[in-house]
Structure 1
Amino acid sequence: MTIYKSEAGARLLRERYLGALRAWPVPHEEVRVPTPAGETFVLVSGPESAPPLVLLHGSGSNSAEWAERMPELAGAFRVYAVDVIGEPGLSAEARPPLEGDRYAAWLDAVLDHFALARAAFLTSSFGGWLALDYAIRRPERVTALALRCPIGLGPMKKGFVVKAVLLGLLGEKGRRKSVAGALGEPESSPIVEHQLLVAANYRYRTGPFPVFGDAALGGLTMPVYAVAGAADAMVDSATTKRRLEAAGAEVDLLPGAGHYLPDARDLEFLTRAVANGDFTG
């Protein structure tokens, strides 16, 4: 089954993304990488001699999520913004099972294509799950993790799902209220508007995301930083903070913030990690 609800919806979301790429704020290369899961689209920016940084966006998104931050990121790193497979970007629609190492093998192929033995990762939401899974399975290839609202560290809030279903019964107004509540943004926000458009045309993943065990998290050997919203309606951020700190990570919990976060200390953390270690890739 296609990840889109209609061919017209797929074209609409693709055209919006292509428009964002035409307005990309820094010089870049657009690379299509062959992988076991299908072709993967990667935007490459920044000096070739800079430390490598892989970006993994959240569910229902693509690398345009990082556009506003690219000038600062590409000023410090060689940045590889990856369109996650099975999401509304320009990569293959494949969705391997989350159990097992299929996603790790996919990321292996991406890093191998660019001859990256190791890289740091900056991620958002589902991208954080992917990066944690990769770091647990391939610790020798991950130099640092910066996670924004990561999932997979505690159960998703059940009350959010129930509320979303009930609000969805109220039509457009209810759906707008639901999305705004999930993101922690005003209903009039352009971010809410965009996510409503995505939800109308894209089939999100269903089913729970596997939760990482304490032993797996305790085995992380690289520096880890996470930031989460204290008012996140979807994710139990207090559990995220508790479990990651127990594993030795630095964690910021932002008061009043939801699942959509303002800029935080992730770049400062990554820059410091580069200064303290070998991040040549």
Structure 2
Amino acid sequence: MSERDIATERRGGMTKIYKSERGAAKVRERYEELLGEWPVPAEHLLVPTREGETFVVVSGPQDAPPLLLLHGSGANATMWRAEITSWASHFRTYAVDIIGEAGASAPSRPPLDSDRLALWLDDVLEDLGLETFSVVAASLGGWVALDYAVRRPGRITRLALLCPGGIGAQKMGWLPLALFLRFFGRRGVRQTARIATGLDTQLTEQVLDDIVLTFTQYKPRTERLPIFSDDALRSLTMPMLVMVGARDVMLDSAVTADRVRHCVPNASVQVLPEVGHAILGQADPVSKFLLDERRPVRH
């Protein structure tokens, strides 16, 4: 396939996950601005995989332990920019843009009820030279991390999950209000983003602006996240930290917490009482968990 054919195929793929090429360009332009504000030195890699190129932002000392970062739906590597200074001081961090999401990776969206995302991640990790590693992941990224941990036992050494998908069911009660708010244009989209994320303070206004920009142009996945069985969760033996927001309107955080406590043998669960789906400002407790390798994790 020629370079021209590849470029044409990529543009066609992008319009499958964006409403238009122009919209995709707007989101990419903002992404590049945010990458320019990355607070620590970074390398930008394009990794070849069977699903297309995957973009990775690499920071931290080359000889430090590896830490893989997997973002949520409709996001990209820059969702970690507030935490990266803390984590990159202790780890070699790899912030991966999940394929088919609003980053710089290929627009491929393999079905979630297959092994294709695990195979894609195999390719990424092989190119990066990572055999074993810790992971921090959020929402959809949490589902991807759990799927990989179940399919590839022994590779993830410590796993920190923020509002992970695939344990408690997805909630749909907020969707009728979201559909109604669409009639109010950008203001309605902003209010929908506020409800969905639980972000309601002045400190998160820029975060909301970026979410609104993305979701006025972007088409998120519509398939339900498959739920992991009790047996799958029981197979996870690495130390785990699971943080959920008690006010999450997108995922059943109470069920997530309960199932992890009962099924995962070496997990710690934290329910944040005034937090929704977006869990921000947790760099320090996550760092403490990742670095505390000598003390066993307790429920």
Structure 1 length as normaliser, TM-score? 0.94
- Cα distance in structure 2, aligned partners of 1:21 and 1:209: 29
Match of 2:227 among 207, 211, 214: 211
Alignment correspondent of 1:117: 131
Q: Aligned runs of 1:224-263 on 2, under 5 Å?
A: 224-246=240-262, 247-248=264-265, 249-263=267-281
- Which segment drifts farther, 158-167 or 80-89? 158-167
Structure 1: distance between partners of 2:27 and 2:192 = 21
Offset, 1:276:
6.0
Moved more, 201-210 or 173-182: 173-182
- Aligned-partner SS, 2:35: helix
- Partners of 2:57 and 2:189 lie apart in 1 by 32
Alpha-carbon distance in 2 for matches of 1:75, 1:39? 28
**Aligned counterpart in structure 1 of residue 178 of structure 2, from 155, 159, 164:** 164
Q: Given the alignment of the two structures, is residue 181 of structure 1 paired with residue 199 of structure 2, yes or no?
A: no
Task: Write the deviation string for residues 77-127 of structure 1: whole angstroms up to 9, x where unpaired.
Answer: 010110110011111000001012101111111111121111111011100
CA distance in 1, matches of 2:161, 2:253: 12
State the Cα deviation string for residues 35-56 of structure 1 (Å, max 9, x = none): 1111101111111111100000
Q: 2:51 aligns with which of 18, 26, 37?
A: 37
Q: Contact (CA 8 Å) 1:153, 1:240: kept in 2 or not?
A: yes
1:77-156 → structure 2 map (5 Å cutoff) = 77-156=91-170
Question: Which residue, out of 58, 66, 69, partners 1:52?
Answer: 66
1:181 shift after superposition: 1.1
Ranges of 4+ aligned residues in structure 1 off by more than 6 Å = none
Counterpart residue type for residue 259 of structure 1: H
Q: In the aligned structure 2, how far is the partner of 1:182 from the partner of 1:125? A: 12
8 Å CA contact retained: 2:75, 2:103: yes
Matched, 1:272 2:286: no
Comparing 124-133 and 161-170, the one that deviates more:
161-170
CA drift of 1:22 comes to 1.8
Q: Which runs of 5+ in 1 are unaligned?
A: none
CA distance in 2 between partners of 1:55 and 1:258 (Å): 21
In structure 2, what is the equivalent of residue 12 of structure 1?
Answer: 26
Supply the distance in 2 between the matched residues of 1:51 and 1:109 (Cα, whole angstroms): 20
Which residue of structure 2 lines up, in the alignment, with residue 192 of structure 1?
A: 208
Question: What code does the residue aligned with 1:260 have?
Answer: A
Q: Is 1:177–1:187's contact at 8 Å kept on the other side of the alignment?
A: no
Of the structure 1 ranges 169-178 and 114-123, higher mean CA displacement relative to structure 2 is found in: 169-178
Q: Is residue 186–residue 212 contact of structure 2 (8 Å, CA) maintained in 1?
A: no
Query: How much does 1:187 deviate?
Result: 7.7
Conserved in 2, the CA contact under 8 Å of 1:135 and 1:220?
yes
Corresponding residue SS for 1:80 = strand
8 Å Cα contact 1:155/1:236 also seen in 2: yes
Unpaired segments ≥5 residues, structure 2: 1-12
- SS of aligned partner of 2:154: helix
Match of 1:158, as an amino acid? M
Partners of 1:175 and 1:232 lie apart in 2 by: 18
SS at match of 1:144: strand
Separation in structure 1 between the aligned mates of residue 37 and residue 180 of structure 2, nearest angstrom: 38
C-alpha displacement at 1:135, in angstroms? 0.2
RMSD of aligned Cα (Å): 1.5
Shift of 1:172: 3.3
How far apart are the structure 1 equivalents of 2:144 and 2:58?
A: 20
Bigger mean CA offset, 163-172 vs 3-12: 163-172
